[in-house]
Structure 1
Amino acid sequence: MEIKTKDFFMKQNHMRKILISLIPIILGAIYFFGWRTLVLMSVVTSFGILTEYAFKRKRNQPVSEAVIVTSILFTLTLPVSIPFWVAIVGIIFGVIFATEVFGGYGFNVFNPALVARTFLYICFPQYITVAWNAPSAGFPGGFASYITPAIETITQATPLKQTVPISQLFWGNVSGSMGETSAFLIMIAAIILLVTKAIDWQLLLSPLVGFIGMSAVSILIAPAKAPSIQYGLLSGAFLMLAVFFVTDGSTAPKTVEGKWIYGILIGTITVIIRVFGIFVGGAMFAVLIMNTFVPIMDEGIKYLKEQQRKQVSL
């Protein structure tokens, strides 16, 4: 529930729960890739807040705490070495064209962090798909460095097709976007969100069902192209998308049936794009595709239910 105050920020308890769940992932990102993670996050968040403020001040309204969550999530989907100006362009684009043009938070059709990331993926692929850094190991890890050494041999968005042990994908000591490498930390965040009732379990489970089902089918159809189910789940940022983006209440369906259809199709489309398409980042496209159909999906389900009630009453 959003409560307007005279303060600069609008108090949003739901967003604060998400911020708490992100703490382990943020600390993990610093450990794996260095303190530039926090510096980049601070810069992106500042510009995200300023962008929303430019719109809110005209209506004499407080800035939503949702923009802080948007900025942090967006930053965690980026490589640690991305230039500051590229990240700034991304967050400004996301806040304006995915939130403010729809009337602000709560009215947006698309998740702004995901729109910002997709914008950079398409317009500045050289900074998103080739500039990776090696993960640190041991103690104190990245806490003792500004940024870890660069890797110049990887030419894809995430380590989806690399020969990486499952254990590394689980713990997170693999190159990739700052907050997407550790399945373990993402699972901790998911537990926090579920315990605090910050996300809907149906929206969390349904994409996993769709992903696992379609992965099994793709292994039968195209075994040479399809990775194993466990490898696919732990790589390519799918868990991050499932926990934080599929469960976004402002862009997800409100009906129970819609939530299951929405999530299952996201998981299914993710696998189809990954295995049979040309983009490794299938999950982010899958979420945005399904965001488009959420309004008509909910209205269609409500209409069908109403028709069923009328038939029963006859």
Structure 2
Amino acid sequence: MKQFIKDIKFMKQAMMRKVIYALIPIILSAIYFFGWRVLTLLAVVSFFGALTEWVFVRKTTGKITEAVWVTSILFTLTLPPSTPYWVAIIGIIFGVLFGKMVFGGFGKNPFNPALVGRAFIYVNFPSFMTVEWIQPFNGFPGGFAHYTGQLIDTVAEATPMLLFRSTGQMLDWNQVLLGNVSGSIGETSAILILLAGIYLLVTKTASKETVFSVLGSFIIMSLILTLLGFAQVPNPIYGLFSGGLLFGAIFMATDPISSPKTKEGRVVYGIIIGVVTVIIRGFALFAGGIMFAILIGNTFAPIIDEAVNALKASKKAKLAKEVSHG
């Protein structure tokens, strides 16, 4: 541990820093809604995420990527506020280790490391990830005057998607848009996530093809199923602004390493994620769905690029042949 603190060096990555800038308002709002435990959890997760990467790079480059900080922050923001520290530590170590370092480190991971870690603890510690939620604070100073909030023990005060699945009830739009609802640490405020998304798109940090294809396909698929009478699927707009869809589409699906490299491929990739999210939300056991949808999209990303490049090469060869015979 002392050696880690002594030898720590960072690899500067401007793109990763922009993502961190976009996340700062979301972190501050999370503290307001859920208390200072959010910050201590973030600090613990970031430390162990960086430590895990350092173990692998200490004898080569010796530098920790700024990407691991992004991974740690994103992972923390997808957790319920009451997640035990030890569960979060296991999750981030697993995510960085098996979602990134075993594949060769930064730039070689086929899956989003933050989601790999979250999926692991979601499956192995479901009670901490799906049952225990915190009642958000209201008014000034909100969570800035508290370490943490009260645990919720009734369905009527659960997260927007859990509430809809259990009772068919939808929360007030003001709550969903502002973030004054129970849920994962950084996924509740639709407005802040949208503003962060605009910043990332304007600075060309996030792929517009991915973001718009995820959101567009989600809306279309939700609308189709709603019109067909599937009561377990909420109307497209409510589904868009509740749960972790916006956060996943803007911060997770756009990971440049685990998503396709071609523009056409990113559109197909986004469509897969949007459609699969609706299917999982409506027909599977999970109230969210975006996490597993993105990991499924990651699986197909290399194949999608291969198919796109093959089609382009085929069209180019066909055009060249037509020209030569012209």
TM-score of the pair, normalised by structure 1? 0.95
5 Å-filtered alignment, 1:115-194, equals 115-154=116-155, 158-162=159-163, 163=169, 164-194=171-201
Q: Measure, in 2, the Cα distance between the counterparts of 1:154 and 1:161.
A: 8
Alignment pair present for 1:33 and 2:34: yes
SS at match of 2:97: helix
Mapping of residues 36-115 of structure 1, within 5 Å: 36-115=37-116
CA distance in 2: counterparts of 1:247 and 1:253, whole angstroms: 9
Q: In structure 1, which of residues 220, 239, 248 is the aligned counterpart of residue 246 of structure 2?
A: 239
Aligned to 2:138, what secondary structure does the other structure show? coil
2:317 equivalent among 300, 304, 310: 310
Name the amino acid aligned to 1:112.
P
Q: Secondary structure at the match of 1:59?
A: coil
Q: Aligned pair in 2 of structure 1 residues 282, 134: CA closer, same or farther (>3 Å)?
A: same
| 15-24 vs 215-224, which moves further | 215-224
Runs of at least 4 residues of structure 1 off by over 3 A? 154-158
For 1:12-27, list aligned pairs within 5 A.
12-27=13-28
Structure 1 position 157, deviation (Å): 8.5
Q: CA deviation at 1:153?
A: 1.8
Aligned with 2:217 (options 202, 210, 233): 210
Residues 266 and 287 of structure 1 are in contact (CA less than 8 Å); yes or no, is this contact kept in structure 2?
Answer: yes
The letter of the residue matching 1:140 is P
CA contact (8 A) 1:129 1:155 kept: no
Please name the residue that 1:253 is paired with: 260
Residue 157 of structure 1 contacts residue 281 of structure 1 at CA under 8 Å; is this kept in 2? no
Instruction: Give the TM-score normalised by the residue count of structure 2.
Output: 0.92
Q: Distance in 2 between matches of 1:62 and 1:116?
A: 22
Whether the 8 Å contact between 1:129 and 1:157 is mirrored in structure 2 is: no
* Equivalences, count: 309
What does the per-residue CA deviation read over 1:117-171, in whole Å, with 9 as the maximum and x for residues that have no partner?
1111111001000110001111110000000111112499842142311221110
CA displacement at 1:195 relative to structure 2: 2.2
- Equivalent position of 1:222 in the other structure: 229
Cα drift, residue 209 of structure 1: 0.8
Q: Check whether the contact 2:157–2:182 (CA below 8 A) recurs between aligned residues.
A: no
